[in-house]
Amino acid sequence: MANEENKLIQDKVVNPIKLRSLDEAISLIETQSAHNVTNLSKMSEEEIIELANDILISIRLSIDKKIRGFICEISNKYPSLKIEYDYDSDLDLYDIWHTDQYLQFNDKNFKQYIAEKAREYLFDNNIYNFSFGYDHIKYIRSKQKSFNKEKSLF
């Protein structure tokens, strides 16, 4: 967990979370923390933005944990299925993808199981900014990476 937190903190420095305005930062702080307007009035604009960014990182860590739980549940039921996810900060979207075309398009039980687990881990936790599905391009890239790793062993 510490490595993931460090990576998100690094991402904050390298790719700062984009807040459109000071008002947006204040609104986020007021809805997500115990700070109130009186405390904020004593803070500089930079401090407010930094606090809002820290809150956003905390939210992302919480969402990442739920997504990892979702993936773990699916992996336990389908151990040969490769599932990964990426986060697009520009779209604020978690792209959860897997490598089994057959399951995606032909297995009704798989779809039902995914829907149940998405409800349990994501929807019930107010996480709606995600997509889930087979991704052919990422599947091909993952096979190439595997091949390159095997090739480098020899």
> What share of the chain in percent tops pLDDT 70?
76
Segment 115-128 shows an average pLDDT of 96
Residue 105 reports pLDDT greater than 90: yes
Q: What is the pLDDT of residues 13-62, one digit of tens each?
A: 334 456 667 777 777 777 766 555 557 778 888 888 888 888 888 888 89
What 8-state DSSP symbol labels residue 78?
Answer: S
> What share of the chain in percent tops pLDDT 90?
42
Say which residue, 117 or 39, is predicted with more confidence. 117
**Residue 110: pLDDT band by 50, 70, 90 thresholds?**
very high
The CA radius of gyration of the chain, in Å to the nearest whole number, is: 19
Residue 96 reports pLDDT greater than 80: yes
Reduced to 3 states (helix: H, G, I; strand: E, B; else coil), residue 43 is coil
**Residue 153: pLDDT band by 50, 70, 90 thresholds?**
low
What's the pTM value of the predicted model, to 2 decimals? Answer: 0.71
Q: What is the DSSP secondary-structure string of 85-143?
A: EEEETTTTEEEEEES-HHHHHH-HHHHHHHHHHHHHHTGGGT---EEEEE-HHHHHHHH
